[in-house]
Amino acid sequence: MAPKFSAKSLDLLSSGRGADRLRLFKADLREEGSFDEAVRGCDGVFHVAASMEFHVAGDEDNENYVQRNIIDPAIEGTLNLLTSCSKSNTVKRVVFTSSISTLTAKDTAGKWRQVVDETCQTPIDHVWNTKPPGWIYVLSKRLTEEAAFKYAKDNGIDLISVITTTVAGAFLTSSVPSSIQVLLSPITGDTKFFSILSAVNARMGSIALVHIDDICDAHIFLMEQTRAEGRYICCAHSCVWSQLINHLVEEYPCSNVQRLAEEKQGSISPEISSKKLRDMGFKYKHSIKDMISETITCCLDQGFLPHVKSKCH
């Protein structure tokens, strides 16, 4: 759809480095040919747009509604963009933003894997059958990525998928990004987003994090690396639930932090491996402490979090 930018957002866009070369186009993901003009003459395209639908209304919580109104539009929008790229005759590579929701740390027997890599995909049938918290988003990303790779293979498009983990760090948007609301849900008390974070922890055995700067750099890095192919996990660090809570409380001391009874999975949680990306030469710049600190500082400055004066334990 056509972007709806506030005056503040437009000011931010126009004041950044390279703003003199920034052009905005009106487009609709569901309209075929809508991106023809935007990609014309481009060498590379980043497809980062996605609906962050975690829940639907109770009377709409059924497979037909979700397929028709969320999954199909997501797939259609991606294929429309890829079609425009094919027609351009100039686009050499498309970098697609995927999600850690497309992966699972459990094998087909429900046992924890030691290492989670790009091949450990979430079984589609299992998601349809169990419908865990956030299942709509999981299916949307998983099926859209699958359709994108099939189209790319059939039409000779060089497609790279960046599997983003939970994104942290400062943000420029006028509203708080969903990933930030998920990450901070143990201290905000938002039950909807807390259920998403809990589901991620249950599926992965830990919470994998990446700074917004690192994920942006990874997209550019993979666009430029001629040897890049397939899917890449972008995970700087991961921490078990208790470690995440400790990091959050250290930066934002509060008395009502939500905790979780962790599942027993052995002494070592599964490694969410970014080896494939690191082996290409990519280096992460931000620690967990940096990510949590910058996230909370930004939310305090934006008024999303109230200031606290006393530390709790």
> How does residue 57 score in pLDDT terms, banded at 50, 70 and 90?
low
Q: How many angstroms separate the CA atoms of 280 and 234, rounded?
A: 12
For residue 185, the model assigns a pLDDT of: 94
pLDDT in tens, 182-230: 999 999 989 989 988 998 999 999 999 999 999 999 999 999 999 999 9
Q: Any idea which of 32-41, 55-64, 90-99, 132-141 has the lowest mean pLDDT?
A: 55-64
3-class DSSP state of 285? coil
Q: What is the mean pLDDT of the chain?
A: 87
Which of 92, 106, 111, 141 is catalytic? The answer is 141
Least confident segment among 43-47, 264-268, 282-286: 264-268
pLDDT at 312: 45
141 given a catalytic annotation? yes
Q: What would the pLDDT profile of 167-191 be if each residue is shown by its tens digit?
A: 999 998 888 999 999 999 999 989 9
Q: Is the pLDDT of residue 266 over 60?
A: no
Strands 207-211 and 159-164 come out as unpaired
Taking only the tens place, the pLDDT of each residue in 80-132 is 999 999 999 999 999 999 999 999 999 988 899 999 999 999 999 989 998 88
Pick the CATH number of 22-302 from 3.30.70.100, 3.30.70.2860, 3.40.50.720, 2.60.40.1930: 3.40.50.720
Alpha helices (runs of H) in 205-287, residue ranges in sequence order? 212-224, 241-251, 275-279
Q: Which uninterrupted H or E stretch holds 161?
A: strand 159-164
